[in-house]
Structure 1
Amino acid sequence: METERKILKDCPISCFADEISTSLDRQIAVLHDLGISHIELRSTDNVNVADYSMDYAKEVRRKLADAGIRVSAIGSPIGKIGIEDDFNEHLKKLQHVETLADLFETKYIRMFSFYMPENSDPSAYRDPVFFRMEQMVNEAAHSGITLLHENEKGIYGDNAPRCLELMKQFYGDAFRCTFDFANFVQCRQDTLAAYEMLKPYITYVHIKDAKTADGTVVPAGTGDGNVNRILTALDQTGYNGFLSLEPHLANFAGLGSLEKDAAVRVENDTEKAFCVAYRALEKILTGK
């Protein structure tokens, strides 16, 4: 980002580079062109990070290190299962992801608070959600890891009040908040109200925006997420954490496995869509 920023000058830019290409080599090439030096590691070469073997993980680490790219967080699918699904195997997966976080020298693992049964009242599942969350937070604390809860659509913590419940119960060195603008918009949650509720807990930010009318994801600052206002407010608080670009503007490989009922994206050129998303963030940060 060559132009001088007006806000959040000390916040490193990270990203989900699998939205550029499935190929790790191509991801690295585009990140180099854009001057992005961090990645939120979700998938490479069609392998989800939670499924990495240690040998493959070491090869990914070598390639990233050779390119001068560091891992800001493991963009894991931990907690992205149904509340009634088998939890014991999932807890083992968290332990594996913790090992990967150590390998990639990051203390952050992105996670979720379980999908609710369709058309159910989430409050009816509060106890099993909190029981599982407690086990995961304790596991992370034992390993010296910080779980970053993302407000994903359809999970227990998809709106601000339930995210706040989770923060009040578990916030600490092992559990913090990732703020995702577009996901709140798609849940019909006012983002300004969400920010006011969650601002003491925000440790990490996902940069994507959406339209309230139909949930369409759009470049940051062009939707209803109040991205500019909230980033400016974060700047005034002295926030210096990561800004992780998650464009969701194109039909990238794996989108269907990441989102339930994933909307069709208009843009099919994933590299172009990623660059559009990056320039939109650059515009906000530089005030141009």
Structure 2
Amino acid sequence: MTEWVLSGFGDEIDPDPVVQLAVLEAVGARHLELRGAWDTGVLELDSRQRSDLRKLLDERGLQVSAIASPLGKVSLDLPVEAELARLRTAIDVARAFSTRYIRMFSFYQEGRDPADMRDDVLVRLRAMTELAERADIVLLHENEKHIYGDTPARVLDLMETIGSDHLRVAWDSANFVQVGSRPFTDAYANLRPYLEYVQIKDALAADGRVVAAGEGDGEVVQTLTALRDDGYQGFMSLEPHLSAAHAPGDLSGPAAFGQAARALRRITDNLGVNLS
């Protein structure tokens, strides 16, 4: 039987990592995607906070699937070294939590024509990827809207041009929907060779509103079926964004997080995939 590993963004549950881990355990997850704790972003956690969080994880036998950093969610006006400095911090955090994965982005468009920003993006991503290679870290590029790599074609451009096993795709169906793409139809075949991590949320094409997996236009069932059939083995990370305001960054809360987990399990159960 195919097996995938369940994880999730704990800071969508609650700022308190004790609550985060309790809810993750309740939905059957043994991994946390670490974006923040105690209302502190992952790159701002001090040494004491890192130590305390690692102790909590160890006590419960949980692990970190990825460092959900904000790398690349900045203006291209900043110098290359600015993100390299933050990447060094992210690498230290990744090592502290025994993961090789760091989630990142490809810089805000800020009204620029993506074609005009391509060279500047590639300079930065090459430098970041080279640092990741030296550190034996894998950067996971998330296709968030309003960055250079928000459409399937531009994500493919980044993967093909950089051409490194240390820069891979973190697949997000909802984000593709929000830029007018059909995730499975428009992106899967081309991006599958680079796909290393899956973030689970869905969205409605009509207004971009985020919904639970399988309830929107993100072709989640088709995508997960294809992943099962072509032998994907890796993480499924819940990023519900099911707050009342449906705004990224808002707490989903324990109940909505549970709703998102149940929606995913309905799909994986139907596919005959073990999610643990």
TM-score, normalisation: structure 2 = 0.93
Alignment of 1:157 onto 2:140? no
Q: For the residues of structure 2 that align with 1:203 and 1:32, how far apart are their CA atoms?
A: 24
Partner of 1:283: 266
| Cα distance change, pair 269–72 in 1 and its aligned pair in 2 (3 A) | closer
| Cα distance change, pair 210–131 in 1 and its aligned pair in 2 (3 A) | same
The answer on whether the counterparts of 1:11 and 1:241 sit within 8 Å (CA) in structure 2 is yes
Partner of 1:55: 48
Alignment of 1:41 onto 2:34? yes
Partner of 2:89: 96
* Aligned-residue offset at 1:86: 3.9
1:114-133 equivalence runs, <5 A? 114-118=107-111, 120-133=112-125
What SS does the aligned partner of 1:152 have?
coil
- Within the candidate set 93, 106, 130, 1:138 is matched to 130
In structure 1, stretches of 5+ residues that fail to align are 1-6, 259-264
* Aligned-residue offset at 1:103: 1.0
Partner of 1:31: 24
Partner of 1:194: 187
What SS does the aligned partner of 1:199 have?
helix
Partner of 2:165: 173
| Cα distance change, pair 87–200 in 1 and its aligned pair in 2 (3 A) | same
- Within the candidate set 187, 211, 233, 1:218 is matched to 211
RMSD: 1.8
Q: For the residues of structure 2 that align with 1:269 and 1:60, how far apart are their CA atoms?
A: 21
What SS does the aligned partner of 1:147 have?
strand
What SS does the aligned partner of 2:170 have?
strand
Partner of 2:7: 14
The answer to which of 165-174 and 126-135 deviates more is 165-174
* Aligned-residue offset at 1:55: 2.3
Q: For the residues of structure 1 that align with 2:130 and 2:252, how far apart are their CA atoms?
A: 42
What SS does the aligned partner of 1:12 have?
strand
Partner of 1:106: 99
The answer on whether the counterparts of 1:13 and 1:37 sit within 8 Å (CA) in structure 2 is yes
The answer on whether the counterparts of 2:168 and 2:196 sit within 8 Å (CA) in structure 1 is yes
TM-score, normalisation: structure 1 = 0.90
Task: In structure 2, give the amino acid aligned to 1:180.
Answer: D
Q: For the residues of structure 2 that align with 1:190 and 1:76, how far apart are their CA atoms?
A: 26
| Cα distance change, pair 173–211 in 1 and its aligned pair in 2 (3 A) | same
| Cα distance change, pair 15–172 in 1 and its aligned pair in 2 (3 A) | same
**Aligned residue-pair number:** 270
* Aligned-residue offset at 1:64: 0.9
Q: For the residues of structure 2 that align with 1:269 and 1:38, how far apart are their CA atoms?
A: 18
Post-superposition Cα deviations, 1:233-256, rounded to whole Å, max 9, x if no partner, equal 01111000101110000159xx66
In structure 2, stretches of 5+ residues that fail to align are 272-276
* Aligned-residue offset at 1:87: 3.5
Q: For the residues of structure 2 that align with 1:43 and 1:50, how far apart are their CA atoms?
A: 8
Q: For the residues of structure 2 that align with 1:76 and 1:211, how far apart are their CA atoms?
A: 26
Post-superposition Cα deviations, 1:39-77, rounded to whole Å, max 9, x if no partner, equal 110011101001111221111111111111100000000
| Cα distance change, pair 165–96 in 1 and its aligned pair in 2 (3 A) | same
The answer on whether the counterparts of 1:251 and 1:270 sit within 8 Å (CA) in structure 2 is no
* Aligned-residue offset at 1:32: 2.0
Task: In structure 2, give the amino acid aligned to 1:270.
Answer: G
The answer on whether the counterparts of 2:65 and 2:99 sit within 8 Å (CA) in structure 1 is yes
The answer on whether the counterparts of 2:126 and 2:162 sit within 8 Å (CA) in structure 1 is yes
* Aligned-residue offset at 1:174: 1.2
Q: For the residues of structure 2 that align with 1:145 and 1:103, how far apart are their CA atoms?
A: 13
